[in-house]
Structure 1
Amino acid sequence: MITCVVHYTIDPAQIEAFERFAREWMRLVAKHGGVHHGYFLPAEGASDRAEALFSFESLAAYERYRTLFGQDPEFIAADDIRNESGCVLRYERTFMRPLLPNG
């Protein structure tokens, strides 16, 4: 399993748009074979930080999902939420291998 951790810097004034964006990506990850572990939004502390975690069975499975970026109309529509609202100022992806309690 490979887990993608996405670190976001968001515009706190656009949190509702970010939530719409996040809901769409959770749906798309699940639709295309991944498991979304959720988005983690500001509660206390820095108000411009958010995180997302989702997993695919392998890096190859993730790469198949990535081939849809910029081509699939649903992926484009989800990105349009981000692009039109300006809710995401910056993001960075990190790929990690989970160490689970039962593994």
Structure 2
Amino acid sequence: NSNLSDKTADFVAKYREANGKDPAGCTALGYDGYNLMLDSIEKAGSTDPEAIKEALKNADFVGVTGPVKFDENGDPSKAAVIMEVKDNKFSYITEVSAE
């Protein structure tokens, strides 16, 4: 799909190669969650929960599902992808900003 970012396309291709099928949406979200935590621990320079929490507050992370930021309440602000399902196939339609 030409609408996928290079990072997303690479993730999907590697997943297909390893598993023989496309990844589920929750697979990509789990992958991003894991990598967001790793990124935050690295930026915090510590495994101290408070240091990680501060790093997460200031996260500017771009994962395979897109950019992730957190608002002043700690809630994630993330765009949503709109897909169409036709004949059991998903087609990208657009992305709706969370802002």
Query: Higher strand fraction: Structure 1 or Structure 2?
Result: 1
User: Radius of gyration: which is bigger?
Assistant: 2
Larger RCO (CA under 8 A, 6+ residues apart):
1
TM-score normalized with structure 1 length: 0.28
TM-score normalized with structure 2 length: 0.29
